Amino acid sequence: MTGIIIVGAIGLICAILLVVASHFLSVPIDTRVEDIRGFLPGANCGACGYAGCDDYAKAVANGSAKPNLCIPGGASVSAQISEYLGVAAENTEPVKATVRCSGTCEKCGEAEDYHGPATCAACAALHRGKKACVYGCLGYGDCVKVCKFGALSIVDGVAHVDESLCTGCGACAKACPHLLIGMVPVKNHVTVRCSSHDKGAVVRKVCSAGCIGCMMCTKVCPTGAITVTSSVTAAASAWDSMHPGANVLESATVVKLTRTLAIIPITLALACWQMHLARKAGGDAKSTFSLKRAFPMFVLFFVLASVITTVLQLPTSITAPIKELSKFFIVMAMAAIGFNTDIVELVKKGGKPIALGFCCWIGIACMSLGMQHVLGIW
């Protein structure tokens, strides 16, 4: 009987200690985290930018993340979370994965034999892969392995996406060592399935399905929907395809435009500086100096064309021929510059022309970065 009383007393004391400890050492739990977690699909794909659904739910609950970042859940999950939190639901554009490569085993051969780990990452580490096209799909299926929805498969040596199963989580895009998989809006029905950066002649030698950059598609498109992007916007587009929701392309477009517009103040400043030097020198230099010759008139036409296209919103039937004509003039201008360039004379001039070009580059870069900072982009 004494033993039972002792054991009972010890149990009572331990119970009291546990109650006191749980009261003073308890960690407050936000019940909203569990509720938000219940709305999420539980894929733990990381497309939202967080380690998993649990981390994303915590971020949404404390207000550091938006409710519309769950790509697999789409608009329905975003609406449920927004309604639960009592905030306005933001539109979420559904995206899908697309493989920018058509180089099947038949269309693109192999340049070397590979005997190593059967993964795209390992194969790409060896001279960028075994295929004749160093930008093409390697076909070992790293993207297939990371897809939790069974939306990808390897067909004839190239990754294939089943759009009916793809949720747009972006895991496959992150797994591809050649960055061939992009996330594009579901409404997009046309995609250029080639990622080669080589010139047309090189592409044609290694792959019969590769893009040779002939730009025929831009000429025959009746709506002008196809364009050839610059390196800045192309790099931003590739980043957006790997990180859904990043919207880097919008910032890249602003960067490109501000970089182009920076030509105007820089040329004005240089023209004014030349005029100042001419007035300071006096004599023949002052009488022979011409602001019209010092200031490039193409800048004025550039501003005029920008205002016209912005205000008037001209139809494609008018702008398309003008664009083709502008390409011809650019080619003629480059040829004229080449005919008037004497390498020997340039060498004799010394480092001043190179220094001037470098200063212009620095000025344009600073102007672009400054505009980004003012606009809140950087």
CATH of the domain at 113: 3.30.70.20
Asked if 130 and 191 sit in the same domain, the reply is: yes
Q: Identify the domain boundary among 92, 117, 138.
A: 92
Asked if 144 and 119 sit in the same domain, the reply is: yes
Asked if 144 and 211 sit in the same domain, the reply is: yes
Residue 170 lies in a domain: yes
Handedness of CA 15, 16, 21, 27 (dihedral sign): positive
Residue 248 lies in a domain: no
How far apart CA 321 and CA 324 sit, in angstroms, is 5
Q: How big is the CA angle at 287 (ends 283 and 292), to the nearest 5 degrees?
A: 145
Question: What is the percentage of the chain residues whose pLDDT exceeds 90?
Answer: 8
Average pLDDT rounded to a whole number, residues 125-141: 85
Q: Identify the domain boundary among 62, 92, 122.
A: 92
How far apart CA 365 and CA 260 sit, in angstroms, is 10
Residue 318 lies in a domain: yes
Joined together, the tokens standing for residue 189 give 């029905």
Residue 223 lies in a domain: no
Residue 9 lies in a domain: no
Residue 155 lies in a domain: yes
Beta bridge partners of residue 108, listed in sequence order: 207
Q: Identify the domain boundary among 218, 241, 269.
A: 218
Beta bridge partners of residue 154, listed in sequence order: 159
Average pLDDT rounded to a whole number, residues 181-195: 83
173: exposed, middle or buried (Cβ count in 10 Å: 0-12, 13-18, 19+): buried
38-52, 90-104, 197-211, 363-377: which has the minimum mean pLDDT? 363-377
Residue 362 lies in a domain: yes
How far apart CA 176 and CA 366 sit, in angstroms, is 35
Alpha helices (H) in the chain, listed in sequence order: 2-24, 31-39, 53-61, 74-85, 120-124, 142-146, 171-175, 200-206, 216-220, 231-242, 248-261, 263-281, 283-288, 291-294, 298-312, 316-339, 343-349, 352-374
Beta bridge partners of residue 184, listed in sequence order: 96
Asked if 354 and 281 sit in the same domain, the reply is: yes
pLDDT beyond 70 at 322: yes
Asked if 113 and 36 sit in the same domain, the reply is: no
Helix or strand or coil: residue 181? strand
Asked if 262 and 341 sit in the same domain, the reply is: yes
User: Could you tell me if 139 and 154 are in contact, meaning their C-beta atoms sit under 8 angstroms apart?
Assistant: yes
Which residues make Cβ contacts (< 8 Å) with residue 274, sequence separation at least 6?
289, 294
pLDDT beyond 60 at 271: yes
pLDDT beyond 90 at 361: no
Q: Computed over its alpha carbons, how large is the radius of gyration of the chain?
A: 31
Average pLDDT rounded to a whole number, residues 333-357: 75
Helix or strand or coil: residue 129? coil
Region of 297 on the Ramachandran plot (φ > 0 left; ψ -120 to 50 alpha; else beta): alpha
Asked if 84 and 149 sit in the same domain, the reply is: no
What confidence tens digit (pLDDT) does each residue in 191-245 have? 888 888 887 888 888 898 888 877 788 778 777 777 666 556 666 665 665 565 5
pLDDT beyond 80 at 70: yes
How far apart CA 299 and CA 262 sit, in angstroms, is 11
Quick one: pLDDT at residue 365? 77
Helix or strand or coil: residue 207? strand
Asked if 361 and 296 sit in the same domain, the reply is: yes
Asked if 274 and 328 sit in the same domain, the reply is: yes
Asked if 159 and 270 sit in the same domain, the reply is: no
Residue 314 lies in a domain: yes
Quick one: pLDDT at residue 295? 63
pLDDT band at 162 (very low <50, low <70, confident <90, very high): very high
More confident of the two residues 64 and 215: 64
What is the extent of the structural domain holding 82?
A: 29-92
User: Could you tell me if 170 and 44 are in contact, meaning their C-beta atoms sit under 8 angstroms apart?
Assistant: no
What confidence tens digit (pLDDT) does each residue in 79-119 have? 888 888 888 877 777 888 999 999 988 898 888 888 888 89
Question: What does the longest C-alpha to C-alpha distance in the chain come to?
Answer: 124
Q: What is the DSSP letter of 96?
A: E
| SS3 labels along 15-82 | HHHHHHHHHHCCCCCCHHHHHHHHHCCCCCCCCCCCCCHHHHHHHHHCCCCCCCCCCCCHHHHHHHHH
Asked if 76 and 165 sit in the same domain, the reply is: no
Question: For the chain, how many structural domains are there in total?
Answer: 3
Mean pLDDT rounded to a whole number for the chain: 79
Average pLDDT rounded to a whole number, residues 285-305: 65
Q: What is the pTM of this model?
A: 0.56
How far apart CA 206 and CA 133 sit, in angstroms, is 6
Asked if 49 and 86 sit in the same domain, the reply is: yes
